[in-house]
Amino acid sequence: MAHDASDACSGRSRRVAIIGAGPGGICTAVRLLERGHDNFVILERAPGIGGTWFHNRYPGAECDIKSHLYSFSFAPNPAWSCRYARQPEIKAYLEDVVDRFGVAPHLRLSTPVHAARWDDTEAVWHLTVGDGDVVDAEIVVSAIGMFGAPVEPDIPGLDRFRGTVFHSAEWDDDHDLSGEAVAVIGSAASAVQLIPEIAPVVGSLAVYQRSANWVAPKEDDPYSDDELAEFAADPDAVAAARDEIFTTIDPNLTFADLERRALAEEAGRKNIAVVEDEELRRKLTPDMPFGCKRPLASNYYYPVFNEAHVELVTDPITEITEGGVVTADGRTRAVDTIILATGFATTKFLAALDVAGRDGVDIDDAWSDGAQAYLGITTTGFPNLFMLYGPNTNNGSIIYMIECQVDYIMKMLEAMDAKQLRWVDVKRDVMDEYNDALQHELDDVEVWQAGCNGYYRVESGRIVTQWPGSMSEYRARTEHADLSVFETA
């Protein structure tokens, strides 16, 4: 596509390409439209919107941050039916936001972005999409999320299994589990949510647990009719509910308060106490501090293990045969369906795509020591490329964190417009200094140094996913867009 250099400096006509139509992509679109900027496209590989909440539709999928905070500040939802909404309700909420704010005309669904190349001469990104089409944009906002790549475990024989096998994030809606012998591999976030839902219908269930996780009780009653009526009638009541959730979780995101941590572990132990068998209770009790891994919450997970047809297997899996799962004790359990609740590859970020920045530098080379960015939003050598939910931004309500990032990007665009800049690229020394300080802050988060959080870290030992502070601290850090930290042209 021919490029008119004046476009790049004329503010509102800058072409923006947003990659991903999850909460991040949707939020960016709404904020662009708010500032009168409609020259943008959202490129989404899936056939629908919602991101995580489009893909993860396993039974029981729900958020673990209360919904009045896990929603956009500009689109409060008085109608959340319960404190932690389930996937269908969250997806419907996001679809409603897309409709109400006029985002739909900008969507290009079923359009994966394979590659992004920065053109130094033209100061434009060339995005290769779908079956080879190229989309040009002066600004790219990557909203590809952290949970887009389900991990298949490396178990010998998995590929020769003759029954049904699917990952929790790729749920087979057409497959009926009724009466089947089912194996769930994994016992973390998705497993804890889906196991209580499938247990009543399956014939037998074997849960393969590598390490026990803390599963706290969950205050998950539906809102009463009176509460819902109050929310519907009074926007201040919705705002107050949101504020209360914020002030409760914000100071506790790094589990620094030892007393609170002890209370959380005590609550976890009480939750486990419903399991009748002592040996089972022992196996389900974690040997790591609360917060070391992502804490989970459910009132329905542990009671499942009192059912006669449910078995907890802690012997490591050695092999999968055509018809069953073999464990280190030599036992084979015959199984019809294997559900892989084995999580996601979370540390690649933008390197999941084929991205080349200034001077053709590949993002894999730029990030050979692990993903890094300034404020989690921009990374040196990749001008005019802004990331949402990027490196070291995972904590609290991700929708809140994303809103901070989008606000920052809008301020950057305004600053670029005001100065008639073609591009901005964060200075290397600024990014390095930021990351050195960040890693020191992460060293101070005691529970993340307890050695059990593989998915937060890369091989070099750096934690690349977590934000080490509160949401308010992140808001304060991203409040101002300061052009002096960028190389500009």
Ligand X SMILES: Cc1cc2nc3c(=O)[nH]c(=O)nc-3n(C[C@H](O)[C@H](O)[C@H](O)COP(=O)(O)OP(=O)(O)OC[C@H]3O[C@@H](n4cnc5c(N)ncnc54)[C@H](O)[C@@H]3O)c2cc1C
Residue with tokens 């949970």: 147
Instruction: For residue 406, give both structure tokens.
Output: 């989008």
Judged by CB under 6 A, which of 8, 14, 18, 22 binds ligand X?
A: 22
User: What 3-state class would DSSP assign to 98?
Assistant: helix
Compute the distance between CA of residue 210 and CA of residue 445 in angstroms, rounded to an integer. 24
Provide CB contacts within 8 A for 435, sequence distance 6+. 372
Instruction: For residue 236, give both structure tokens.
Output: 């201040």
Shortest Cβ 283–ligand X spacing (Å): 25
User: Is the C-alpha dihedral spanning 130, 458, 357, 399 positive or negative?
Assistant: positive
Shortest Cβ 310–ligand X spacing (Å): 22
Shortest Cβ 74–ligand X spacing (Å): 16
Q: Are 467 and 439 in contact (CB under 8 A)?
A: no
Site string for ligand X, 33-72 (x = CB under 6 A): ----------xxxx----xx-x-x----x-xxx----x--
Shortest Cβ 62–ligand X spacing (Å): 7
Judged by CB under 6 A, which of 8, 14, 15, 24 binds ligand X?
A: 24
Shortest Cβ 420–ligand X spacing (Å): 31
Instruction: For residue 350, give both structure tokens.
Output: 């933008």
Rank residues 45 and 358 by Cβ distance to ligand X and give the closer one: 45
**Is 397 among the residues that bind ligand X (CB under 6 A)?**
yes
Rank residues 9 and 46 by Cβ distance to ligand X and give the closer one: 46
Q: Are 68 and 241 in contact (CB under 8 A)?
A: yes
User: Which of these segments, 15-23, 219-227, 318-326, 465-473, binds ligand X (CB under 6 A)?
Assistant: 15-23
Rank residues 376 and 383 by Cβ distance to ligand X and give the closer one: 376
Shortest Cβ 369–ligand X spacing (Å): 23
Rank residues 43 and 181 by Cβ distance to ligand X and give the closer one: 43
User: Which of these segments, 16-24, 267-275, 433-441, 461-469, binds ligand X (CB under 6 A)?
Assistant: 16-24
Shortest Cβ 190–ligand X spacing (Å): 6
Rank residues 22 and 186 by Cβ distance to ligand X and give the closer one: 22
- Contacts by 448-456 with C-beta closer than 8 Å and gap 24+? 448/254, 448/291, 448/292, 450/288, 450/289, 450/292, 451/292, 452/211, 452/288, 452/292, 452/293, 453/292, 453/293, 455/343, 455/344, 455/346, 455/347, 456/346, 456/347, 456/394
- Helix residue spans in 10-103 (DSSP H): 23-34, 52-55, 87-100
Tell me the Cα Rg of the chain: 23
Counting Cα atoms < 13 Å in the Cβ hemisphere of 298 gives 26
Shortest Cβ 279–ligand X spacing (Å): 30
Rank residues 204 and 466 by Cβ distance to ligand X and give the closer one: 466
CA distances from 133 to 92, 385, 484 (A): 31, 20, 36
Interface size with ligand X, residues (CB under 6 A): 35
Shortest Cβ 39–ligand X spacing (Å): 19
Rank residues 8 and 63 by Cβ distance to ligand X and give the closer one: 63
CA distances from 366 to 57, 132, 362, 373, 456 (A): 35, 25, 6, 11, 19
Compute the distance between CA of residue 343 and CA of residue 150 in angstroms, rounded to an integer. 6
Rank residues 22 and 324 by Cβ distance to ligand X and give the closer one: 22
Longest Cα–Cα distance in the chain: 73
Rank residues 245 and 325 by Cβ distance to ligand X and give the closer one: 245
Judged by CB under 6 A, which of 8, 17, 18, 19 binds ligand X?
A: 19
Shortest Cβ 33–ligand X spacing (Å): 17
Site for ligand X in 319-378 (CB under 6 A): 353
Rank residues 372 and 397 by Cβ distance to ligand X and give the closer one: 397
**Is 21 among the residues that bind ligand X (CB under 6 A)?**
yes
Rank residues 207 and 253 by Cβ distance to ligand X and give the closer one: 253
Compute the distance between CA of residue 332 and CA of residue 318 in angstroms, rounded to an integer. 10
Terminal alpha carbon distance of the chain: 22
Q: Are 426 and 376 in contact (CB under 8 A)?
A: no
Residue with tokens 């670029």: 416
* Burial tier of 176 (Cβ tally within 10 Å: 0-12, 13-18, 19+): exposed
Site for ligand X in 156-195 (CB under 6 A): 190
Shortest Cβ 26–ligand X spacing (Å): 7
Site for ligand X in 104-163 (CB under 6 A): 112-113, 143-148
User: Which of these segments, 5-13, 17-25, 316-324, 418-426, binds ligand X (CB under 6 A)?
Assistant: 17-25
Rank residues 143 and 335 by Cβ distance to ligand X and give the closer one: 143
User: Which of these segments, 18-26, 32-40, 205-213, 279-287, binds ligand X (CB under 6 A)?
Assistant: 18-26
Compute the distance between CA of residue 451 and CA of residue 278 in angstroms, rounded to an integer. 27
**Is 80 among the residues that bind ligand X (CB under 6 A)?**
no
Shortest Cβ 126–ligand X spacing (Å): 15
Rank residues 53 and 448 by Cβ distance to ligand X and give the closer one: 53
The residue ranges that bind ligand X (CB under 6 A) are 19-25, 43-46, 51-52, 54, 56, 61, 63-65, 70, 112-113, 143-148, 190, 353, 388-389, 397-398, 402
